[in-house]
Structure 1
Amino acid sequence: MSLAKRATLTAAIVLFAATSAMAVEGARGFFPAVEQERGRLVVHGATDIEAMEPLIRDFQQVATDVAVDYTDYVTNDLYRDADAACRNQQNFGDILLSSSVDQLVKLANDGCAVAHSSAETQDVPDWANWREEVYGFTFEPSVMVYHKDFVPPEDVPHSHGELTDLLRFKPDYYRGRIGTYDLRQSGIGYLLAFLDAQQASTTYGRLLESLSRVEAVLRCCNNAVLSEIDSGNVFIGYNILGSYAHAAALRNPKLRIVLPRDYTLILSRGVLIPRAAKRPDLAGRFLDYLLSERGQDVATRKAFFFSRTGPLPANVDGPPKLIESGIGRPIRIGPALLAAQDQLQRSSFIDDWTRLLRGTAGGKTP
């Protein structure tokens, strides 16, 4: 067996172990250089290897001499390790990716990032660029997902209010059948809940009461909730990132996706180059690729499925032009997100949420 074939086989084995049974946080994937390796990019991401693989492999068609070492994290673990490395002036990867952009903004604000400017970064919308240190490279609405075998057409919620009313009027049927994030484990779950509360505090409070009443199933992350829906253990998932939801719906056509009609939060997954990166040059090349027209095309077709400028995927129930409709509300990457990372406020928010969702009526966890 040739060296090239042996390297490809090794990568396939490592990647299969990492991505089987729906991507597992903490998994690692190694992608050998297409040609002779002259550099190695170390990526730490709170983004499933399944989603990043098409982008990494296409990047390597441009950077043929670059190998990529990728480790998948839960958002809170990524932030914890990156923060510790920064405070101790230690290396922690060459580039960080996370759906919890508030955590990346906090790292940048604490001096843990280096700025990067290029032709590709000039086209990034203002709401997806903070100080040229944190960039958003995806367009991912927060959606509701349901299993059509268990949710009749008349029950399908099309807004946060409709979901609240559904759970109030049919609590017995949906008890233990609604899934969402456990805010104590999930950084992105906390961020979306924090922003929900800002969008409509009264509506969100009523929704939390309804989730508690039906003993909502709480899980660490997107794929854990989607796995429960796929198996029929959970009927409806709330606040799921559209990219993961769409990927799950491609695997199981019985899963359906709804963009809430009152408002839909839109996340732009963040990317940051750590101050102590060993290969900031390779990190900059990869960041530019992610923001490039080519990278955005691959992301839309093969990885994250939603485009800032294009139409919604065919199987998604929502307005054709999300932002123009006024329904889509992008999460602005910037100092306002630091409020979500204020320790006292964060602790108070999660404690209040826990008391309600984990009270005598609600909050089933594994």
Structure 2
Amino acid sequence: MKVFRIAACTLAMVSALAAANAAERTTFGTTGRETGHLVLFGATDLAAMQAVIEHFHGLRPDLAIDYFDGHTAEVYDAVLKEADWNGMRPDIVISSAMDLQVKLVNDGFAQPHESAETERLPDWANWRNEAFGFTFEPVVMVYNPLTLPPEDVPSTRFDLVRLLREKSDFYQGRIATYDIAQSGVGYLLATQDARQAHTFGRLIESFGRNAVRLACCTVDVLEAIEDGRVLIGYNMLGSYTRQRIAHGSSLVTVLPKDYTMVVSRIAFIHRQSANAATARAFLDYLLSRAGQEVLARESSLYAIHPDLTGPGTAEGLHKEVEGPLRPISLSPGLLAYLDRMKQERFLADWRTAMGSNRVGAD
């Protein structure tokens, strides 16, 4: 199997959330005669998806598979504006920005798919047999025990607010979270916090008062925590933290005891897929016990399959958490904060509170 990576340039376009930059292309080539092709647009790091793609490719070595890895807003833009990357359009679209995926499906960009694998999903992870959740990932706080005083480790959002109030001087510029104006999944998590937590107003007020640092993605925050620029990361995707810990990082995750949100990466088959039969086969593999086993054991992602147990599974996460788990449900309710006026108002309030202190800035 030949695997190589090249840069794929996007059109210069701007969405309500972020400007598109570039997606990175990885090709899983055939060693013999090519009989098919599959194109995946994903807002998920290659490192998280590579194992499951390679396992599927092992079953179908006659296929050439192209995986384009972009940010959530870039993937949304490309689909919405029917742009191609390197002359290719997607057969399957994957993203952790659940609300943006629901909007694309609601706007008619998906085609339905029903199978034994889709029927096994919990109701909240299957919307209209068009959008399918295939992971079960906690949203966590992250810290480095080498730099954070042990008595300051927060176990709830209330703890974090109190910490920033009582030790404001020490934590100035040393807390980080998503820049929700640039990150689709960051915007999703902030709006879900606003709906679920009566602490949200005090939390963002504390963030603004303490010059919180903002980042486009979890990886940037985790690197800043590892090198000591940041002490606590808020609303980080637990899958990326899990990956770094598996590779020897000293990072520690906190599953908030007041509630731990759970996001699911959403996949759908594009309505204009040029390889619909192959796309259906890949989607079923992604949802199957075999594919989910690969996600749980060979990637940093958390499997959603109900029959799997142990680390990296929904069952394992239920055993690990001390407070309630709150999976974000695939439903029309996710569209509420994508209403243009509501979105602009939410972002304006956020910017007013946060300022513009980027991760990495002096």
Q: TM-score, normalised on structure 1?
A: 0.87
Structure-2 residue corresponding to 1:172: 169
**Contact 1:85/1:91 (<8 A) preserved:** no
Aligned to 2:234: 238
Shift of 1:118: 1.0
1:297 alignment partner in structure 2: 293
Letter in 2 for 1:299: L
Instruction: Specify the SS of the correspondent of 1:265.
Output: strand
- Report the residue type matching 2:232 in the other structure: I
* C-alpha contact (below 8 Å) 2:262/2:328 kept by paired residues: yes
* Aligned match for 1:357, one of 351, 354, 357: 354
SS in 1 for 2:30: coil
Structure 2 residue 97 is the aligned partner of structure 1 residue 84: no
**1:190 corresponding residue in structure 2:** 187
Match in the other structure for 2:277: 281
Residue in 1 aligned with 2:149?
A: 152
Q: Quote the residue 1:223 is aligned against.
A: 219
> Structure 1 residue aligned with 2:42, among 39, 42, 45?
45
Most deviating of 148-157 and 183-192: 148-157
Q: How far off its partner does 1:63 sit? A: 1.7
Aligned CA RMSD, in angstroms, stands at: 2.3
Among candidates 250, 254, 258, match of residue 254 of structure 1: 250
Aligned residue type for 1:196: D
Q: Is contact 1:31–1:68 with CA below 8 Å preserved after alignment?
A: yes
Q: Which amino acid aligns with 2:169?
A: D
Question: Cα distance, 1:204 vs. partner?
Answer: 0.9
The Cα shift of 1:247 comes to: 0.7
- Go from structure 1 to structure 2 and tell me whether the alpha carbon gap of 1:321 and 1:224 turns closer, same or farther (over 3 Å shift): closer
Specify the SS of the correspondent of 1:85: coil
Give yes or no for contact 2:296–2:311 (8 Å, CA) kept in 1.
no
**Aligned partners of 1:313 and 1:82: how far apart in 2?**
30
In the TM superposition, residue 209 of structure 1 has moved relative to its aligned partner by: 1.2
CA distance in 1, matches of 2:218, 2:31: 32
Deviation readout 1:291-335 (Å, 9 max, x if unpaired): 000111111112234344534569xx986254xx66100100111
Distance in 2, matches of 1:347 and 1:91, equals 32
Q: Is the 8 A contact 1:176 1:364 kept in 2?
A: no
**Percent of residue pairs bearing the same amino acid type:** 43
Q: Deviations over 1:55-94 (max 9, x none)?
A: 10011122221111011111111111111119xxx97311
Deviation, 1:363, is 3.5
Distance in 2 separating the partners of 1:92 and 1:174: 45
Structure 2 residue corresponding to 1:72, chosen from 69, 72, 85? 69
Aligned to 1:210: 206
* Distance in 1 (alpha carbons) for counterparts of 2:270 and 2:63: 19
Matched, 1:119 2:113: no
Matching of residues 269-348 of structure 1 within 5 Å: 269-308=265-304, 309=306, 310-312=309-311, 320=319, 322=321, 327-348=324-345
C-alpha spacing 1:318/1:112, structure 2 compared with 1 (3 Å): closer
Distance verdict in 2 for CA 1:152–1:35, change over 3 Å: farther
**Residues 257-289 of structure 1: per-residue CA shift (max 9 Å, x gap):** 110000011001000111111111111111101
Question: Residues of 1 paired with 2:114 and 2:242: CA distance?
Answer: 32
Q: TM-score, normalised by structure 2?
A: 0.88
Q: Secondary structure at the match of 1:27?
A: strand
The question of whether the paired residues in 2 share the 8 Å contact of 1:45 and 1:78 is answered with yes
**What does residue 267 of structure 1 align with?**
263
Greater mean deviation of Cα atoms: 220-229 or 132-141: 220-229
Q: CA deviation at 1:340?
A: 2.4
The residue type equivalent to 2:36 in the other structure is G
Contact 1:34/1:66 (CA < 8 Å) preserved in 2? no
Equivalent-residue separation in structure 1 for 2:202 and 2:42 (angstroms): 34
Alpha-carbon distance between aligned partners in 1 of 2:327 and 2:48, rounded to the nearest angstrom: 21
Partner deviation per Cα, 1:113-139 (whole Å, 9 max, x = no partner): 100111111101100000011000001
TM-superposition CA deviations, 1:26-64 (whole Å, max 9, x none): 221111135532111011000001111001001112222
Q: Is the Cα–Cα contact under 8 Å of residues 146 and 257 in structure 1 kept in the other structure?
A: yes
Q: Indicate if the aligned counterparts of 2:102 and 2:334 stay in contact, CA closer than 8 A.
A: yes
- Report the Cα offset of residue 156 of structure 1: 0.6
Task: State the alpha-carbon separation in 1 of the partners of residues 30 and 166 from structure 2.
Answer: 57
Contact persistence 1:164–1:206 (CA under 8 A): yes
Distance 2:105 2:231 in 1: 39
Change (3 A) 1:349 1:337: same
2:18 counterpart residue number: none
Where in structure 1 are there 5+ consecutive unaligned residues?
Answer: 1-6, 19-23
What is the number of equivalent residue pairs in this alignment?
Answer: 340
